[in-house]
């Protein structure tokens, strides 16, 4: 209990001393005050978790001080103590937010038990706060690039309405995150957000999953099942990868959108539901319509408010922010040691094509936190594909604007490749590329090449 701070307020010196002695023995961090004015001043400075507060004191009485404490910090638990208080005062103290009531003379066991209960409640509140904070961080939209600022503004505007939303974008760009933010910022935020991955559910089960079924309606239907649409009543449903829905299921989804009605499999009953539909896809639905794989009427019904989820390649300036965000999140969630990234590593990560988008970057950061022993993480710690060639085969070196940086990076890329070809034998490499071995050693040291590799024994004779 060393981290739990307790403030004891009483105008009787012997009470202060005895209570402080007991709580110090229990490893609480204790401060004392002799009147209400001193207590309020100390409360602001000490920031206690728990207060033991006398009801009857000269000047400010305990109930007024209790009100002040609760206005300053509603989470702090206040235990009232008194030797001659009535039921009315106890009721009023409870109404004002007191945690408990102790009578004088204070029993040591009762004191310890009451303070321990208050400390456990404080601990649970802090734990819940940390979990909520961690969850909020998990679903935080990170980025200050122009496209992300525009996306954030779009989400704010869309969330105010109740219109259907269609989110498009490559895999790994955060379409689910956008859907959650639309829900969280909407009037439906206090109700359920139900997620369905349409691509992960077999065609023969998708209707049952979305609309429910009656017991015995098909083989394996051993009991009645409530569908996702009905579960999301008054909330939002997120239909991820909606382009993978069968045409039959598409027809039923269209009915929900147009009529607000669902019909469970095997049931004659039609149920009314009030659900906001947020859909997402990485497919070109217009092309799917031309192929006959997607209903045009459903497309137009979904396409009321389109949102584009930008690829990571469209917002490279956000990569350092995303890396810092993922490092903080994984370090807190899994108790990993925090690491930093060198300027070289950060530049290589910014230049990467990121076909897997934010999801790929997120997974890489987590892997580096687990596997990389270096701090800071350098370019040599990154996978081989980072910093190689662009999507169209153009060397990323050509994107550099500074001659000195281009010269250093190109030399490093050339020498690393040649050393790899000759199994990191320095003498052999030097001979093959026509560079004095001493010069190659200097380049290796100055450019930071070959870290983590065992240099092959230098058995070759020196070049003349």
- Does residue 42 sit in the same domain as residue 73? yes
Beta bridge partners of 50: 6, 77
Domain-embedded: residue 24:
yes
- Does residue 280 sit in the same domain as residue 322? no
Write down the pLDDT at residue 123.
84
Q: What is the DSSP string of 369-403?
A: HHH---SSB-GGGS-TTTTSB-TTS-BGGGG---H
Q: CATH no. for residue 242?
A: 3.40.50.300
How many Å apart are CA 43 and CA 7, to the nearest integer?
8
Domain-embedded: residue 390:
no
Domain-embedded: residue 414:
no
**Contact between residue 261 and residue 227 where contact means Cβ atoms under 8 Å apart:** no
How wide is the angle at C-alpha 178 spanned by C-alphas 175 and 184, nearest 5°?
145
When divided into structural domains, the chain yields a total of 3
End-to-end CA distance of the chain: 73
**Contact between residue 212 and residue 204 where contact means Cβ atoms under 8 Å apart:** no
Q: CATH no. for residue 367?
A: 1.10.8.60
Residues of the domain holding 91? 5-135
Burial environment of residue 372 by CB neighbours within 10 A (0 to 12, 13 to 18, 19 or more): middle
Write down the pLDDT at residue 132.
60
**Contact between residue 83 and residue 62 where contact means Cβ atoms under 8 Å apart:** no
How many Å apart are CA 275 and CA 248, to the nearest integer?
20
How many Å apart are CA 392 and CA 358, to the nearest integer?
20
Query: Tokens 């469209």 map to which residue?
Result: 314
pTM of the model as a whole: 0.59
- Does residue 37 sit in the same domain as residue 88? yes
Beta bridge partners of 280: 167
Write down the pLDDT at residue 356.
87
Tell me whether strands 261-262 and 271-272 are parallel, antiparallel or unpaired.
Answer: antiparallel
Choose the final residue of a domain: 87, 114, 135.
135
Write down the pLDDT at residue 401.
57
- Does residue 228 sit in the same domain as residue 161? yes
Write down the pLDDT at residue 136.
55
SS3 420: helix
Q: What is the DSSP letter of 243?
A: G
Domain-embedded: residue 431:
no
**Contact between residue 233 and residue 275 where contact means Cβ atoms under 8 Å apart:** yes
- Does residue 210 sit in the same domain as residue 327? no
Domain-embedded: residue 397:
no
Q: What is the pLDDT along the chain (464 residues), one digit of tens a residue?
A: 557 899 999 988 888 999 999 999 999 999 999 998 999 999 999 999 999 999 888 878 888 899 999 899 988 999 998 876 566 777 788 888 889 888 888 899 999 999 999 998 888 887 776 666 555 566 678 888 999 999 999 999 999 999 999 999 998 899 999 999 999 999 999 999 999 998 888 878 888 889 888 887 777 778 888 889 999 999 999 999 999 998 988 998 998 899 888 888 888 888 899 999 999 999 999 999 999 999 999 999 999 999 999 999 899 999 999 999 999 888 887 777 788 999 888 888 988 888 889 999 999 998 888 888 888 888 888 887 786 444 433 445 555 556 776 777 778 778 877 887 777 788 888 888 888 888 888 888 777 775 434 344 344 433 33
């Amino acid at each position: 209990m060393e981290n739990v701070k307790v403030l004891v307020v009483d105008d009787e010196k012997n009470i202060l001393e005895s209570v402080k002695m007991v709580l110090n023995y229990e490893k609480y961090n204790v401060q004392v005050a002799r009147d209400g004015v001193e207590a309020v001043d100390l409360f602001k400075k000490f920031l206690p978790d728990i207060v033991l507060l006398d009801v009857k004191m000269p000047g400010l009485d305990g109930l007024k001080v209790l009100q002040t404490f609760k206005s300053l910090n509603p989470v702090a638990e206040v235990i009232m103590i008194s030797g001659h208080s009535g039921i009315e005062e106890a009721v009023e103290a409870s109404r004002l937010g007191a945690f408990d009531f102790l009578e004088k003379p204070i029993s040591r066991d009762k004191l310890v038990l009451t303070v321990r209960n208050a400390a456990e409640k404080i601990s649970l509140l802090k734990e819940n706060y940390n979990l909520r904070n961690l969850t909020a961080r998990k679903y935080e939209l990170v980025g200050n690039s122009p496209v992300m600022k525009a996306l954030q503004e779009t989400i704010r505007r869309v969330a105010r309405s109740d219109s259907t939303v269609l989110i498009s974008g490559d895999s790994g760009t955060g379409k689910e995150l956008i859907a959650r933010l639309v829900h969280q910022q909407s009037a439906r935020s206090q109700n359920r957000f139900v997620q369905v991955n349409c691509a992960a559910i077999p065609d023969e089960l998708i209707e049952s999953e979305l609309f429910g079924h009656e017991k015995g309606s098909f083989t394996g239907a051993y009991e009645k099942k409530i569908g996702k649409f009905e579960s999301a009543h008054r909330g939002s449903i997120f239909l991820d990868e909606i382009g993978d829905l069968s045409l039959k299921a598409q027809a039923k989804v269209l009915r929900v959108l147009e009529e607000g009605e669902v019909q469970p499999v095997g049931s004659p009953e039609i149920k009314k539901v009030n659900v906001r539909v947020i859909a997402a896809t990485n497919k070109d639905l217009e092309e799917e319509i031309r192929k006959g794989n997607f209903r045009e009427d459903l497309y137009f019904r979904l396409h009321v408010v389109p949102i584009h989820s930008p690829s990571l390649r469209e917002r490279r300036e956000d990569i350092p922010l995303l890396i810092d965000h993922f490092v903080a999140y994984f370090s807190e969630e899994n108790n990993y040691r925090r690491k930093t990234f060198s300027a070289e590593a950060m530049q290589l990560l910014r230049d990467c094509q990121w076909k897997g988008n934010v999801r790929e970057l997120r997974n890489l950061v987590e892997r580096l936190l687990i596997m990389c022993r270096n701090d800071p993480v350098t370019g040599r710690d990154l996978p081989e594909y980072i910093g190689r060639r662009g999507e169209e085969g153009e060397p990323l070196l050509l994107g550099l604007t500074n001659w000195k940086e281009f010269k250093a990076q190109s030399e490093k890329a050339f020498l690393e490749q040649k050393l790899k070809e000759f199994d990191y034998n320095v003498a052999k490499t030097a001979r093959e590329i026509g560079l004095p071995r001493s010069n190659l050693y200097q380049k290796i040291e100055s450019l930071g090449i070959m870290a983590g590799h065992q240099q092959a024994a230098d058995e070759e004779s020196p070049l003349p």
